[in-house]
Amino acid sequence: MLQNLRTSTWFLSGALLGLSLAVGHSVYALKDENQQIPFEDLQAFTEVFSKVKSDYVETVDDRKLIEDAIRGMLSGLDPHSAFLNTSEFSDLKIGTTGQFGGLGIEVGMENGFVKVISPIDDTPASRAGIQASDLIIKLDEKSVKGMTLNEAVKIMRGKPNTDIDLTIVREGEPKPLVIKITREIIRVKSVKNRMLEPGYGYVRITNFQSRTTTDLLKAISDLQKEESLKGMVLDLRNNPGGVLNGAVGVSDAFIDDGLIVYTEGRLDDSSHRYLATPGDSLNGAPLVVLINGGSASASEIVAGAIQDHKRGIIMGTKSFGKGSVQTIQELRNGSAVKLTTARYFTPNGRSIQATGIEPDIKQSTLRISEKDEKARETYSESDLEGRLSNPNGDGDSSSATDEETDSEALARSDFQLFEALNLLKGLTILGEISNG
């Protein structure tokens, strides 16, 4: 949401920009009686500003000094608050349209380096093998140490069909990896769906946009037209988040009533409660939600709501843990600040911040190799020569085939999803037994 910066805060910025300080009082009260500006500290700021202007080895533009001071003030708060000059603010608005030139990764800052929160599906970064939690230490030949996040993002974005080398540090790798990626126009499709097996649907949400809830309901409807759903896997792995209303709508699609999420901040308009409306798009069919370390923000809201309402089973690895709300506030000169204004809480009052969502069933990412498959091969009575025939009809079901089954292919390509499907089948069978 874009809005003008509050009067009191703008006054502080005006005081800094004008560098005109009154004397005779140690503090100056803002409109809020509990907030005061310490003039001794502001005087220290002006002294430093003056020293830089007069003594620094090179001449520095006044505007750059002020902008860098503002950046430092915001970046010192938390990894997500930031100052956006007019150019950066324009780029941000372009990025939120769902189409831009770049690599296709959601990033943050950690210890001065750019950390990958998650790659976006079907983008150059995803195809190149960039993984959640990778630390980017160089962009081409430039070290990211000392860069702001906005500066790093600006370098990674660029004209389509141009290359960039990312040097990354990855846990488990003995030395940094250099990965060449070709920029493309990034078109983010929020919702994808397919049938895993008859009666068992799969829906993946890559990020949360304004249309995500509508697209989700259509995806479920399309699956149900193929065959009545016995259960569904909702895949939120490597989903970096997005629009809050999208997360609320997706949660509401599976939860009949009660609280979905609430936010708490210092200001009244930063605190909100979001409630579910009647109706379950799956009509109570079992639901398994997949998450991992790349599932952040809005993804964690959905997983937390479903977990607290016991509407489904959360499976995978612990999520990222971004439980804060950022508000983009436009300033009078066309620049903006991205400011953390609230925290998210799950229906049961759990803060997501820095803790993430713990899955109900922990399932690491594994791959089954052909060697493992061969080691698991077994023989049965039907493989023996001269075996007795089955009076109900043999059908020569023992004849081996070299063709890989759909189930085996899924286990080989995505073991977590394979296990989620098996869990859904077990829940369905258990439900049928319970119902007699």
- pLDDT tens sequence across 120-173: 888 999 999 999 999 999 999 999 998 988 889 989 988 899 999 999 999 999
Beta bridge partners of 113: 110
Residue 34 DSSP class? T
Catalytic residue, candidates 297, 299, 319, 324 = 297
For 422, the 3-state DSSP assignment is: helix
Q: Which of 286, 197, 180, 294 is nearest to 237 (CA)?
A: 294
If one counts every other C-beta atom within 10 angstroms of the C-beta of residue 422, the result is 14
Looking at per-residue pLDDT, the higher value among 72 and 112 belongs to: 72
Catalytic residue, candidates 322, 324, 338, 414 = 322
Long-range (24+ apart) CB contacts under 8 A made by 219-225 are 219/191, 219/192, 219/193, 220/193, 220/253, 220/281, 220/282, 222/193, 223/193, 223/195
For 251, the 3-state DSSP assignment is: helix
Contact criterion met (CB below 8 Å) for 201 and 227? no
The mean per-residue pLDDT over the stretch 57-83 comes to: 94
Kindly provide the b/e burial profile for residues 7-22, where b requires at least 16 CB atoms within 10 angstroms of the residue's own CB. eebeebbebbeeeeee
Does the active-site annotation cover 180?
no
The mean per-residue pLDDT over the stretch 297-324 comes to: 97
Domains of the chain: 100-187 (2.30.42.10), 191-326+341-362 (3.90.226.10)
Structure confidence at residue 388 (pLDDT): 79
Beta bridge partners of 193: 203
What is the per-residue pLDDT across 178-211, written as a single tens digit (0 to 9) for each? 999 999 988 777 899 999 999 999 999 999 988 9
**In this structure, is the dihedral angle defined by the CA atoms of residues 429, 433, 434 and 435, taken in order, positive or negative?**
positive
Does the active-site annotation cover 308?
yes
Does the active-site annotation cover 322?
yes
Written as six digits, the tokens of 85 are: 């000059």
Catalytic residue, candidates 251, 308, 324, 338 = 308
The structure's pTM equals: 0.77
Residue 420 DSSP class? H
Contact criterion met (CB below 8 Å) for 306 and 312? yes
